[in-house]
Amino acid sequence: MTFPPAATSVPRTVLHWHVHGSWSTAFVQGRHTCLLPVLPEGGPWGGGRPAAWDWPARALEATPEQLRERADEIDAVVLQRPEEIELTERWTGRRPGVDLPAVFVEHNTPKGDVPTTRHPLADRDDIPVVHVTHFNALAWDTGRAPTRVIEHGVLDPGDRYTGEIGRAAVVVNEPVRRGRVTGTDLLAGFADTVGLDVFGIGSERLGEAVTHPDVAIGGDLPQDRLHTEMARRRVYLHPVRWTSLGLSLIEAMMLGMPVVALATTEVAVDVPADAGVVATDLRVLHEGLRTFRDDPDLARAAGAAGRASALARHGVDRFLHDWGRLLTEVVEGGPGGVDEDAALARGPGRLQPAG
C-alpha cells in the first residue's frame, strides 16, 4: 500500500523513551528525530538506544543536560508511562500538555477491576491517549482524555516459513512471572497434542512452572534468529489470555506461519478465519494444532493468508503515516490539539519515502 504526500511528511523532533523494543523499532523508522534519554546507570528511565535492534541514525541518545539545552527544539513528547510526565518537565523545563505538545501511548490492557479500570490520564484533557488496539480503547475508562487508536506497525521479517519441524512455536516474555496472564498454565495441556518450543525473555525459567517432556525451551534469541527458528516450526501457538495484541503473533503471521490463538482481546478480530484457528474452546484449539501438524499443505495455505492480512493491517508504512499525521495535528494544534473528527473527515494522507 502506498500513501501520497501530506503534512505527515514534516519531520519533527520527538522526546521518546525506549520502552517496548518492537514498537519503538517501528516508531523510529519515521522521518522524525527521536531523542532517547540516557543516564549513566541506564535503567528504565535512561536506557537510550537498545543493543538488540539496528535503529536509524535519527534515533539519538541525549542526557538530561542535553535535553535541557535542546528543549526549545523538541516539538512533542511521546509518553508511555505516567512517570515520564514529571521527568520531561524536570529535564526540559517544559510541561507535557501545557507548554509542550504531548501524547500518551497506552500499550497495555487495563488491570484491576476491569472494565471500570480508570486510566492514569483520565482526569486530563490536554494529553491525548493513543491506544495500540481498539480493544484497549474499549476496555479502558479514559475519562476526559481525548483518545485515538493507532494500531501496531511491524517491520516485515519476510516470508521465511518452512514448517519443517512438526511442532508449535510459542513466544512469551517472562512466562513464569506472568503465569495465567500469558497462558503459561495451558502449555502442558497443549503439549499433550503437539510438541512446543517456547522462546522469549525469561523462558529459561519455564521449568519452574511447566514440567512436560514435550515442552522445550528455545531461550531469548536475537530477533533475526528468533524469526528464523519460529518459521521452521509447523504452527504458531498464542496462548495469551490478557495482554494487548502480541507483536510476536503479528510477526508469526508475517513470517507466513499458520496460527492457533485464544480469542481474547484484539486477537479475536485481528486474525482472519483463513489464517488459522482462533477460539476460546480449548478442544477447538487442540484440534487446530493437530490439524496443522498433520497437514503441511493446509498449514502453508493458512500461513500465506495470515501474511497477506498482517502486511495489509500492520504494515509499517501505514503505522508511520498515522503517527506522522497525529504528531502534525498535536504540534500544529497546540497541546492536546487533536481534532479526531476533522482528521477522519480529511481521510488518509500519504507518507513520502523516508529520506
- pLDDT, tens only, 144-186: 999 999 999 999 999 999 999 999 999 999 999 999 999 999 9
CA angle, residues 221, 30, 89, in degrees to nearest 5: 90
Cell numbers of 92, please?
A: 526540559
The pLDDT score that the predictor gives to residue 10 is 67
Average pLDDT of the chain to the nearest whole number: 91
Classify 42 in phi/psi space as left (phi over 0), alpha (psi -120 to 50) or beta.
left
* Whole-angstrom distance, CA of residue 51 vs CA of residue 11: 25
The pLDDT score that the predictor gives to residue 50 is 87
* Whole-angstrom distance, CA of residue 161 vs CA of residue 72: 48
The pLDDT score that the predictor gives to residue 112 is 85
Please report how many Cα atoms fall inside a 13 Å half-sphere around the Cα of residue 79, on the Cβ side: 23
- pLDDT, tens only, 232-247: 999 999 999 999 999 9
The pLDDT score that the predictor gives to residue 337 is 43
pTM of the complete model: 0.88
**Ranges under pLDDT 50 in the chain:** 1-9, 335-355
The domains located in the chain, with CATH, are 7-153+315-346 (3.40.50.2000), 165-314 (3.40.50.2000)
